[in-house]
Amino acid sequence: MLQHIDDDTRIDACCLAPEVQTLRQHLVASREMLMALADPARQDLVQLLARGERNVSEIVAHISLSRPTVSHHLGVLRRAGLVRARKQGKEVFYRLDKARITRTLEGLLESLNCC
């Protein structure tokens, strides 16, 4: 039987069956992304960015959040690997990293289906 594993407790990988090790690796890789997506404001940002690249001003024009709040949420999405940023002059443009999101979710699904 597996016990809950938190950040402070690690189970030696040799104790887990290979398919469980793979599932655990995919769960760990997906954790930050799924936590970032749990927030409704970030879900709105993802929906907006799914339509194309935008800068913060364009985002603020479409969402009822302040510029600092949007910037905060974009930072969370960026650290979670959901969003990429590109600087052009003084502006920073954000877009979804669809390829990374797809790879992460496909790996998680494959691991879940193997067990």
Q: What is the pLDDT of residue 27?
A: 84
How does 14-43 read in b/e, with b if 16+ C-beta sit within 10 Å? eeeeeebebbbebeeebeebeebbeeeebe
Confidence class for position 113, pLDDT limits 50, 70, 90: confident
Q: What is the pLDDT of residue 19?
A: 56
Count CB neighbours of 97 within 10 A.
19
pTM to 2 decimal places: 0.76
28-86 per-position pLDDT tens digit: 888 999 999 999 999 999 999 999 999 999 999 999 999 999 999 999 999 999 999 99
Domain boundaries, the chain: 17-114
Class of domain 17-114: mainly alpha
pLDDT (mean) for 7-19 = 52
pLDDT (mean) for 16-24 = 66
Evaluate the CA torsion angle 75, 76, 79, 84 in order and state its sign.
negative
Q: What is the pLDDT of residue 110?
A: 85
